[in-house]
């Protein structure tokens, strides 16, 4: 008689010689766009070195000639000990935990603001309308109109987002897809802030060179040259500009903005303008929003489709992780706007604390309010400190032989030109690094100063 025996074992995947992967998702069948994407945190050799050295500083600090790594590459203020602005955090805290409204240390105007907010939005745990709470959209649209000297406003054009990147993502989602068999492409300057989003969505990036000898100016000739061939092969959908620029630290002059607008209009491109650093302006070349430039140019330019994004990630606030942002859309067809609302509705709504922060920022204390003096003192001293450091760093860098950098007109980043000795270039080549990457690795390794290479390898 056959005896039945039962055994219990766990699947012996590893020891099984005829191993067949049970994973449905593997590198082979992964979305190729994700594999294509270049992200600093995972792909940059300098960043990899940084992670390694950070660990070594913890495990074996005596093996390195420094005891901390100086993060010159991160735009995250708070991660380097920056203190939050009191008023903004008080409003956010009381919105999250209304029992604080009874706290005597909280100023009356903070309490009033939160009580007012709670009339429209009783709990930050509840979802708002998809484009954001109407009352906050109205507040933001008034703020943007004041910024632009009283330009017409419409809160329906303002969508609250989880930061600037989320705004860019939203509009890119709207334009993705082939047209007449041509893949979609985005025109972008070089150098530029690297939006991994474009690679993720499968957009082809058509880069045009900024004119280094001319303060990294944007020129129509370079734009025309870049798209001449690309136009035949790709469906050009948009032009993305960052103003003030990360990484060049320049602010667009009025005539440059006008040229960009004219070019986008002629080529029927949607203009996407990342104005995240709009309030970090240190030189006389004042920031002018693209919306204002277009309005001043009159028709047909004032009727062109344009999207501008802004957030509280930079500024003097540096609230990067609260993901408080907005996008303002200009001149899109009504049916496109309806589709757009559907598109943002897939997230249900933007994060509530980001929305509350936007509200507190745009409707900040004014003279006579109990929080005004502290708000003024904190915002002004932070701005002055950023401006002073920007100038000091540029001045000191320019004293180093082989280094040169233009004044930082706006934003957080200084774009340094360094003459790398031929021998170092050769050694870098042998290790398959571009000169800037090789230099940045050496700098990090030997001095603990972490900078981002300008031409990512």
Ligand X SMILES: Cc1ncc(COP(=O)(O)O)c(C=O)c1O
Q: Which residue ranges make up the site for ligand X (CB under 6 A)?
A: 75, 163-165, 193, 242, 246, 274, 276, 311, 313, 320, 325
Minimum distance from residue 334 beta carbon to ligand X (Å): 28
Given the complex with ligand X, which of 53 and 320 has the nearer CB atom? Answer: 320
Minimum distance from residue 274 beta carbon to ligand X (Å): 5
Minimum distance from residue 242 beta carbon to ligand X (Å): 4
Minimum distance from residue 287 beta carbon to ligand X (Å): 14
Q: Cα 85 from chain centroid?
A: 21
Residue with tokens 């050496």: 442
Minimum distance from residue 162 beta carbon to ligand X (Å): 7
- Residue nearest ligand X by beta-carbon distance: 163
Tokens for 378, please give them: 């904190």
Given the complex with ligand X, which of 40 and 449 has the nearer CB atom? Answer: 40
Maximum Cα–Cα distance for the chain, whole Å?
Answer: 97
Q: Is 23:30 a contact under the CB 8 Å cutoff?
A: no
- In order of 71, 300, 378, the CA distances from 304 in angstroms are 40, 7, 38
Minimum distance from residue 277 beta carbon to ligand X (Å): 7
Q: How far apart are CA 109 and CA 199, in angstroms?
A: 45
Minimum distance from residue 428 beta carbon to ligand X (Å): 26
Given the complex with ligand X, which of 157 and 280 has the nearer CB atom? Answer: 280
Given the complex with ligand X, which of 325 and 365 has the nearer CB atom? Answer: 325
Q: What are phi and psi of 5, to 5 degrees?
A: -125, 135
Count of CB atoms situated within 10 Å of the CB of 270: 23
DSSP-based helix, strand, coil % in the chain, nearest 5: 45, 15, 40
Given the complex with ligand X, which of 47 and 438 has the nearer CB atom? Answer: 47
Q: What are phi and psi of 331, to 5 degrees?
A: 65, 25
Residue with tokens 């986008």: 264
SS3 211: strand
Given the complex with ligand X, which of 205 and 302 has the nearer CB atom? Answer: 205
Tokens for 327, please give them: 């996008």
Tokens for 306, please give them: 């344009």
Minimum distance from residue 283 beta carbon to ligand X (Å): 18
Q: Is the dihedral of CA 442, 448, 454, 457 positive or negative?
A: positive
Given the complex with ligand X, which of 411 and 435 has the nearer CB atom? Answer: 411
Q: Which has the closest alpha carbon to 167: 218, 132, 202?
A: 132
Minimum distance from residue 239 beta carbon to ligand X (Å): 15
Given the complex with ligand X, which of 141 and 276 has the nearer CB atom? Answer: 276
Q: Is the dihedral of CA 433, 435, 437, 438 positive or negative?
A: positive
Given the complex with ligand X, which of 167 and 365 has the nearer CB atom? Answer: 167
Exposure letters 318-337 (e unless 16+ CB within 10 A, then b): bbbebbbbbbbbbebeeeee
């Amino acid at each position: 008689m056959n005896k039945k025996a039962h055994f219990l074992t766990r699947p012996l995947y590893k020891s099984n010689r005829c191993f067949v992967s049970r994973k449905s998702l593997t590198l082979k069948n992964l979305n190729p766009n994700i594999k294509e994407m270049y992200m600093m945190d995972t792909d940059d050799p300098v960043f990899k070195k940084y992670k390694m050295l950070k660990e070594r500083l913890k495990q074996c600090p005596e093996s390195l000639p420094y005891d901390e790594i100086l993060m010159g590459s991160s735009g995250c203020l708070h991660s380097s000990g920056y203190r939050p602005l009191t008023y903004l955090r008080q409003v956010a805290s009381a919105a999250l935990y209304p029992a604080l409204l009874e706290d005597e240390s909280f100023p009356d105007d903070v309490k009033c603001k939160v009580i007012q907010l709670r009339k429209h939005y009783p709990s930050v745990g509840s979802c708002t309308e998809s484009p954001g709470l109407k009352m906050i959209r109205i507040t933001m649209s008034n703020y943007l109109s004041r910024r632009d000297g009283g330009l017409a406003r419409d809160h329906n054009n303002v969508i609250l987002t989880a930061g600037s990147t989320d705004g860019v993502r939203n509009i890119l989602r709207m334009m993705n897809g082939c047209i007449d068999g041509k893949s979609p492409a985005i025109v972008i300057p070089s150098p530029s802030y690297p939006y991994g989003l474009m690679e993720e969505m499968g957009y082809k990036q058509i880069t045009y060179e900024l004119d280094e000898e001319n303060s990294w100016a944007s020129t129509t000739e370079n734009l025309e040259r870049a798209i001449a061939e690309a136009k035949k092969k790709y469906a050009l959908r948009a032009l993305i500009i960052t103003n003030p620029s990360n990484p060049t630290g320049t602010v667009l002059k009025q005539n440059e903005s006008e040229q960009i607008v004219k070019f986008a209009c002629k080529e029927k491109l949607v203009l996407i303008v990342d104005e995240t650093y709009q309030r970090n302006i240190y030189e006389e070349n004042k920031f002018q929003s693209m919306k204002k430039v277009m309005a001043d140019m009159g028709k047909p330019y004032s009727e062109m489709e344009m999207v501008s994004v802004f957030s509280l990630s930079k500024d003097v606030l540096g609230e990067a992780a609260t993901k408080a942002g907005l996008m303002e859309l200009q001149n899109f067809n009504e049916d496109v706007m309806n589709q757009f609302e559907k598109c943002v509705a897939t997230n249900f709504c933007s994060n509530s604390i980001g929305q509350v922060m936007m509200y507190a920022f745009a409707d900040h204390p004014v003279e006579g309010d109990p929080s005004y003096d502290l708000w003024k003192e904190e915002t002004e001293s932070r701005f002055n400190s950023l401006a002073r450091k920007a100038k000091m760093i540029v001045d000191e860098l320019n004293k180093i032989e082989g280094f040169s950098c233009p004044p930082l007109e706006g934003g957080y980043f200084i774009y340094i030109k360094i003459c790398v000795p031929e021998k170092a270039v050769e050694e870098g080549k042998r290790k398959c690094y571009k000169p800037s990457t090789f230099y940045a690795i050496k700098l990090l390794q030997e001095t603990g100063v972490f900078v981002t290479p300008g031409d990512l390898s």
